[in-house]
Amino acid sequence: MDHRAGNPAGLRERTRRAVQAEIVSTAMRLFLEHGFEATTMEQIANEIGISRRSLFRYFGSKEDIVLGDHAEHGEALRTALEARPPGEPPWEALRAALKALYDSLPYSPEDFLKITSMLHASPSLRAHQWEKRQQWTDLLVPDIVRRLGATRDPMSELRARALAACALACLEAATDAWVRSGGTIDMEWAFDEAVAAARG
């Protein structure tokens, strides 16, 4: 291994990640204090002590700051689903994987409620979140196809995609109900109710 070649790149990457983490932390505090729509990229840059141009090197928009970790969450969800027992039915496996993802989030219930409420109050954030959630479906489909046990059926991917999309829609409905209740209802109960309604 060429340490002379590897160390500078590794240091740059660690520095970049540290700056990104500081930006996200500072921005989330400002968003929660002043509201997402009222907070500007310039305010975030000033609070951190960098130029607005430098901020845009890390994040192209406020939406990217809030939802930048959604891709990582999608990968974590796929990993959690693939870790479920092979014979577990798709609905049960998806429920367990979603719970594992929720349990892994680095927020207190109070902070998660504030962040989720902010997401639901902003049309632009909701739109960006929906776009990113579509990518989650693509990640989940291969494992669900295997669980359906119909890999040679040309319609198996369609069924798997519909199932994954429905589970994520149930998650969205449950989260929305949880936010509207001010966090007083149980999220898992709300998800199970949504799934029961979808499955008829």
Write out pLDDT tens, residues 87-100: 999 999 999 999 99
Would you tell me how many other CB atoms lie within 10 Å of the CB of residue 200? 4
Mean pLDDT per 10-residue section of the chain, whose length is 200 residues: 57 83 89 88 93 90 84 91 94 95 84 86 84 89 90 82 94 93 93 92
The C-alpha atoms of residue 196 and residue 190 are separated, in whole angstroms, by 10
Give dist(CA 44, CA 62) in Å, integer. 9
> What local confidence, expressed as pLDDT, does residue 45 receive?
94
Model confidence pTM above 0.85: no
- The confidence score (pLDDT) of residue 161 equals 93
pLDDT computed for residue 2 by the predictor: 44
- Give the C-alpha distances (Å, rounded to integers) separating 197 from 25, 90, 91: 38, 17, 13
- Sorted by where each starts, the structural domains of the chain and their CATH numbers stand as 3-66 (1.10.10.60), 69-199 (1.10.357.10)
Give the contacts of 85 (CB within 8 A, at least 6 positions apart).
Answer: 93
